[in-house]
Structure 1
Amino acid sequence: MSNPETDQRPISKDIKVLSAMFGLLKPYRLHVLGALFALTFTAGITLSMGQGLRMMIDQGFGAGAAEGLDQTIIIFMGMVLLLAIGTFARFYLVSWIGERVSADLRQQVYSRVIELHPGFFETNLSGEIQSRITTDTTLLQTVIGSSVSMALRNVLIFIGGIVLLLITNPKLTAIVLLSVPLVIMPIIIFGRHVRKLSRSSQDKVAVFGGFVGESLKNIKIVQAFNHQQRDTDTFNAQVEVAFDVALNRIKHRAWLTAIVIALVFGAIAYMLWVGGHDVIAGRISAGELAAFIFYAMMVAMSVGVISEVYSDLQRAAGATERLLELMHADNLITAPEQPRQLTQPVSGQLQFENISFYYPSRTEVAAISELSLTLQAGTSLALVGSSGAGKSTIVDLLLRFYDVQQGRITLDGVDIKQLDPKALREHIAIVPQQPVLFSGTVFENIRYGRPDASDQEVKDAAIAAYADEFIQKLPKGYDSFVGESGVRLSGGQRQRIAIARAVLKNPKVLLLDEATSALDAESEYKVQQALEHLMQDRTSIVIAHRLATVINVDKIAVLDHGKLVDTGSHQQLIKSSSLYARWASLQFGEVEEVASVIDKVS
């Protein structure tokens, strides 16, 4: 289930891509300054301990004076206390910044993704997007709230340590500095490989994360077709691929760490050999050598930490790239700079003027071809046709999920492209063929149609949709939890809640996509009456495969392969459209029997 369009992304050449995250830190300047001060303070205290060690050896142990030893121990404990206080402030502030930035980033990415046009999700798996918002932001939180802090602290220790090394013993410092290029080169070389492997590893995790979400969401179909073992095998294969990529990354990081440690401590061993001979010869004191060893160890550990952090930054760069792709994804459906306003009150007149449309993923075949239709305010139109005729596409175009490539669609005479999509959709409600419910209560799902509705208004909408009776029988009534995608309810119950949602919105334009297809005969009769009441004084577009449900609409449009074949009433189309007459014959029996069916339905 991997997507080739999302599996082949560009790899950044360096970690400069992380600079895009700096903008998220601007609102928290005081916290950042506080963290930087704490970092500098703790680094300074840590380095000053070397001088405390020198004083302890030379003035305490060396001089054999108990008083001098007591003083140096007191000074040392004071420094430890200051270090503990500074470490607390540093850890709290940087962790707070990391969590805050991660939360802000998740909010920004989600608010951006939720506004993207539906066509974007034809080529991007929802599970992978979910992985980016969760896994990648968590990685950045770790880097910002921990790794960056460690890096800055150890950079300060490295610089301060080198300065103090030079002050303590220039000759021994030269030995340490000679090893620095030997340490830096492996970091650069191996770092490039780690960055590429990190990006690949994150992509692989996102792919099997999307697979998990898809299979669990459709668990009934998976089990109905006994597909568990096959899906498990597919998932295991994807996990193993991700594991192999991660293992390769870990191997490179392990080699990097091992080489750095070997080079650093090899240089320290040589320095100890030279320094030890200087102490024996009396050229330096034992305290100076101890202080120098302390600083050298601090410098060595800082280099080791920086090398580890650099690898983390490589991974964060990959995560940042993936998040920036979402943040900068082009939204093809946007509001104009100066959107037009509909004349109030909105009447709901619709007009499709010679429209043609091609789906972005299927540009070779027109989904709608040169279609023109006019629907007066308060009237109803049924769209009929075989699967793929373009019925649902017309609904998507009206909701401006996509824009037509030719012609225009108007609402009350205004081109919908000149309207803010949100303002347009305020006047439209849809009841889809597959009812969509969200995890939550019945109250919350119906109130989705109008969030500010009162409890009584929600109940009134449910009564109008013939849903109140079964809702009252649920364990907690309207406060009952419906489960993920409404899994605790039957298909007919979910459909009636979806209809109640549309009733509550009280729109000027009503879109019904096979709204009664999931209902039994009795429920269908009740809901059909509720819909007929709901359709009164509203402009309604009904998509139907069963002609019995649209016999009484004002006008029926017959579609075939994206083209408008004919329009008229049911009786007119029986006579004028051979295609419609054939459908009627298949559903009602012989054509001459249709009249009696119409009488019964009417």
Structure 2
Amino acid sequence: MIIIMAFLDMIGVASILPFMAVVTNPSIIETNLILNTMYQYSSLFGVENNQQFIFALGVLVFILLVFSLGFKTLTTYLQVRFVSMSEYTIGKRLMKGYLCQPYSWFLSRHSADLGKIILSEVGQVIGNGIRPIIELIAKGLTTIALIALLVLVDPRLTLIIGLSMSLVYLFIFYFVRNFLKRTGEERLNNNQLRFKAISEAFGAAKEVKIGGLEKTFIENFSNSAQVVAKSVASSQIIGQLPRFILEAIAFGGILLIILYSISETGSFSSAIPVISLFVFAGYRLLPSIQHIYASFTQLVFIGSSIDRLYNDLKNLKTFNKKQEQGILPFNKTISLKNVCYNYPNSSRTTLKDLNLSIPAKSIIGLVGATGCGKTTTIDIILGLLTPQMGTLEVDGKVITEQNTRSWQRLIGYVPQHIYLSDDTVAANIAFGMEPENIDQDMIEKVSKIANLHEFVINDLPQKYNTEIGERGVRLSGGQRQRIGIARALYHSPKVLVLDEATSALDNQTEKAVMDAVNNLGKDITIILIAHRLNTVKNCDIIYKLDNGQIIDQGTFNDPTDSNNNFS
């Protein structure tokens, strides 16, 4: 379609030449073979004299131009649609790619940076990268077609004008390309800082207000946002710079064309068709050439973002389509055998030759000082981290990349800090479920187990349909934690993992929740990380970790060593 558009542009411009020739010298109808043939055939449509023929020719030229512009509009629409859909496609691909990365990958990436890439950099790359390339092709073909037409009419004049314009654009581009590249890198880096400043400021709103840190965070955002704004402004000004220069010399150029044409033809009337052609072609050419130059400047400016986006797309781990379907059988034991793990870019070994066994339908406690490896052990059991050495086994079957999802479908997980979305209580309990698929009976059942139901029914204005605000800001810490426990129980897990999940609850509420959880132990396997004695006192086995190793195990009433770190 771009090639057809370029051809139609050329035809539209070329039609000016015969029309102006007839207008200035009607007798040419008799001497020019093509015009005379057209005149003869026009009699079939009622044309009887030269005046009517000139009018009909003008209408035909107008129709050609309108058709050319209409086709150009359609082509532009398809280009814009392609660009917009490309932004959607790449954004979706990145979203899918990021979410399919292993959990360890997220430990080294800032969430604000990931959001910035999807929501900002993709748009920048598409708008200032893909779009300019398409425009470069479209305008380039149009320019070539029009220049070819002008060369056929007057090669020498076309060469003079073409060289003059090319030198202006090349001269400017030569001196600004390094500045554009440097400015583009500054925009990319400061755009990341801008998103980070916003994320941290609003994510820690309470601490910011208490500490009187508003000015600090405003300045953090302002400094980076100002650099981004100035960088974008600089690139756009540079992209438009030649247009201002060429507009300044355009009047002189028109005079030059007139004088040259008169000297070549010997009279002004004879020169009018050529002058009209070059002026009209210039009217169509200048925007195209300006677009070509602006496209080059935008590509240089956005080069850093293109490199960043390309590297992310290239290095993202491909989604594993060979994941086993269904749920992994679990009736006997969860085992960690000779497990070793250390985090990326860390020289410290977090887990060292760890061995533990968790019988089905038992309650297990993991205790130990901060940094002893409890959370890492849980993350391996959850299938979030893959040990560098050793294995995680369920009923003797090794958990691998192919069956991790089947294993995770058995698990309910309650972290210490619950993430709550700005949605209803019911939607947060059935997290990730479509509203029409939420089982209200199950919502109420698990809420009763988590000691949440009475609060929802008696204190919330719209019961389970009450909006709780971003991250549950309208709820207390204990209420948020109970929603997290209800969420973990919603899908009827066979394994329930509580990572200090009751730490935000008062003693009375914790006792009620733990009594309910302990009663579940007859039907499911429960793994607890805790610091309070009351939390682990009913565990069948308590494992004590230190320095990435199990140093003791037993029940709550066993005579463990006197240096017990959880008492």
TM over 0.5: yes
- 1:366–1:562 contact (8 Å) kept in structure 2: yes
In the other structure, the counterpart of 1:447 is 430
**Is 1:371 aligned to residue 346 of structure 2?**
no
What is the CA deviation profile of residues 441-477 of structure 1, one whole-angstrom value per residue up to 9, with x for unaligned ones? 2222111277655222222222222212222232222
- 2:414–2:484 contact (8 Å) kept in structure 1: yes
The 3 A distance-change label for structure 1 pair 302 and 264 is farther
In the other structure, the counterpart of 2:47 is none
Q: Which letter does structure 2 place at the counterpart of 1:511?
A: V
What is the CA deviation profile of residues 277-319 of structure 1, one whole-angstrom value per residue up to 9, with x for unaligned ones? 3244579531122212322443333211110122233345443
Q: Which moved more, 1:543-552 or 1:517-526?
A: 517-526
Cα drift, residue 138 of structure 1: 2.2
Q: Which letter does structure 2 place at the counterpart of 1:447?
A: A
- 2:240–2:294 contact (8 Å) kept in structure 1: no
In the other structure, the counterpart of 2:536 is 550
The 3 A distance-change label for structure 1 pair 539 and 97 is same
Cα drift, residue 126 of structure 1: 1.2
Tell me which of 483, 498, 502 is aligned to 2:484.
Answer: 498
Over aligned residues, Cα RMSD in angstroms? 3.0
- 1:557–1:564 contact (8 Å) kept in structure 2: yes
Q: Which moved more, 1:152-161 or 1:139-148?
A: 139-148
**Is 1:156 aligned to residue 162 of structure 2?**
no
In the other structure, the counterpart of 1:531 is 517
Cα drift, residue 223 of structure 1: 1.1
Distance in 2 of aligned mates of 1:318 and 1:78: 45
Distance in 1 of aligned mates of 2:185 and 2:271: 51
Tell me which of 373, 386, 389 is aligned to 1:390.
Answer: 373
**Is 1:121 aligned to residue 106 of structure 2?**
yes
- 2:324–2:405 contact (8 Å) kept in structure 1: no
Q: Secondary structure of the equivalent of 1:570?
A: coil
**Is 1:416 aligned to residue 399 of structure 2?**
yes
Tell me which of 459, 465, 468 is aligned to 1:479.
Answer: 465
Tell me which of 296, 318, 324 is aligned to 2:310.
Answer: 324
Tell me which of 254, 257, 279 is aligned to 1:293.
Answer: 279
The 3 A distance-change label for structure 1 pair 522 and 449 is farther
Tell me which of 343, 347, 350 is aligned to 2:334.
Answer: 350
Cα drift, residue 265 of structure 1: 7.9
**Is 1:44 aligned to residue 7 of structure 2?**
yes
Distance in 2 of aligned mates of 1:62 and 1:512: 94
- 2:129–2:306 contact (8 Å) kept in structure 1: no
Q: Which letter does structure 1 place at the counterpart of 2:22?
A: Q
- 2:242–2:290 contact (8 Å) kept in structure 1: no
- 2:366–2:543 contact (8 Å) kept in structure 1: yes
- 1:50–1:294 contact (8 Å) kept in structure 2: yes
Whichever of the two has the greater Rg, that structure is: 2
Residues 574-593 of structure 1 mapped to structure 2, 5 A cutoff:
575-580=559-564, 583-584=566-567
Distance in 2 of aligned mates of 1:483 and 1:349: 40
Q: Which runs of 5+ in 2 are unaligned?
A: 28-49
The 3 A distance-change label for structure 1 pair 100 and 567 is same
- 1:495–1:515 contact (8 Å) kept in structure 2: yes
Q: Which moved more, 1:169-178 or 1:441-450?
A: 441-450
- 2:24–2:269 contact (8 Å) kept in structure 1: no
The 3 A distance-change label for structure 1 pair 339 and 232 is closer
Distance in 1 of aligned mates of 2:404 and 2:310: 25
Q: Secondary structure of the equivalent of 1:165?
A: helix
Tell me which of 53, 57, 60 is aligned to 2:20.
Answer: 57
Cα drift, residue 433 of structure 1: 0.8
Distance in 1 of aligned mates of 2:499 and 2:401: 26
Distance in 2 of aligned mates of 1:44 and 1:338: 50
Tell me which of 426, 440, 447 is aligned to 1:462.
Answer: 447
In the other structure, the counterpart of 1:19 is none
Cα drift, residue 266 of structure 1: 7.2
Distance in 2 of aligned mates of 1:278 and 1:343: 87
Distance in 1 of aligned mates of 2:508 and 2:85: 54
In the other structure, the counterpart of 1:75 is 60
Q: Which letter does structure 1 place at the counterpart of 2:468?
A: V
Cα drift, residue 175 of structure 1: 1.1
What is the CA deviation profile of residues 208-246 of structure 1, one whole-angstrom value per residue up to 9, with x for unaligned ones? 112202221221121122211111122222223334544
Tell me which of 384, 390, 398 is aligned to 1:401.
Answer: 384
What is the CA deviation profile of residues 158-206 of structure 1, one whole-angstrom value per residue up to 9, with x for unaligned ones? 1111111111112212213433652346446634542443243133112
The 3 A distance-change label for structure 1 pair 413 and 266 is farther
The 3 A distance-change label for structure 1 pair 348 and 74 is farther
Cα drift, residue 58 of structure 1: 2.2
**Is 1:107 aligned to residue 92 of structure 2?**
yes
Q: Which runs of 5+ in 1 are unaligned?
A: 1-36, 585-602
Tell me which of 545, 550, 558 is aligned to 1:559.
Answer: 545
Q: Which moved more, 1:174-183 or 1:555-564?
A: 174-183
- 1:354–1:406 contact (8 Å) kept in structure 2: yes
Tell me which of 277, 281, 288 is aligned to 2:263.
Answer: 277
- 1:116–1:331 contact (8 Å) kept in structure 2: yes
Q: Secondary structure of the equivalent of 1:537?
A: coil
Cα drift, residue 255 of structure 1: 4.8
Distance in 1 of aligned mates of 2:401 and 2:76: 52
The 3 A distance-change label for structure 1 pair 533 and 307 is same
Cα drift, residue 123 of structure 1: 2.5
**Is 1:197 aligned to residue 183 of structure 2?**
yes
What is the CA deviation profile of residues 409-433 of structure 1, one whole-angstrom value per residue up to 9, with x for unaligned ones? 2121122236432122111111111
Q: Which moved more, 1:45-54 or 1:438-447?
A: 45-54
- 2:365–2:541 contact (8 Å) kept in structure 1: yes
The 3 A distance-change label for structure 1 pair 56 and 70 is same
The 3 A distance-change label for structure 1 pair 408 and 244 is same
Q: Secondary structure of the equivalent of 1:578?
A: coil
Q: Which letter does structure 1 place at the counterpart of 2:494?
A: K
The 3 A distance-change label for structure 1 pair 466 and 245 is same
In the other structure, the counterpart of 1:142 is 127
Distance in 1 of aligned mates of 2:57 and 2:111: 62
Distance in 2 of aligned mates of 1:313 and 1:418: 40
Q: Which letter does structure 1 place at the counterpart of 2:16?
A: L
In the other structure, the counterpart of 1:29 is none
Distance in 1 of aligned mates of 2:128 and 2:219: 34
Distance in 1 of aligned mates of 2:327 and 2:202: 47
Distance in 1 of aligned mates of 2:243 and 2:268: 37
- 2:339–2:388 contact (8 Å) kept in structure 1: yes
Equivalenced residue count is 541
Distance in 1 of aligned mates of 2:255 and 2:175: 25
- 2:343–2:350 contact (8 Å) kept in structure 1: yes
The sequence identity of aligned pairs, in percent, is 23
Q: Which moved more, 1:271-280 or 1:127-136?
A: 271-280
Q: Which moved more, 1:71-80 or 1:42-51?
A: 42-51
The 3 A distance-change label for structure 1 pair 347 and 220 is same
Q: Secondary structure of the equivalent of 2:15?
A: helix
In the other structure, the counterpart of 1:16 is none
Distance in 2 of aligned mates of 1:213 and 1:128: 10
- 1:557–1:568 contact (8 Å) kept in structure 2: yes
Q: Which moved more, 1:398-407 or 1:548-557?
A: 398-407
- 1:348–1:508 contact (8 Å) kept in structure 2: no
The 3 A distance-change label for structure 1 pair 176 and 216 is same
Q: Which letter does structure 2 place at the counterpart of 1:521?
A: N
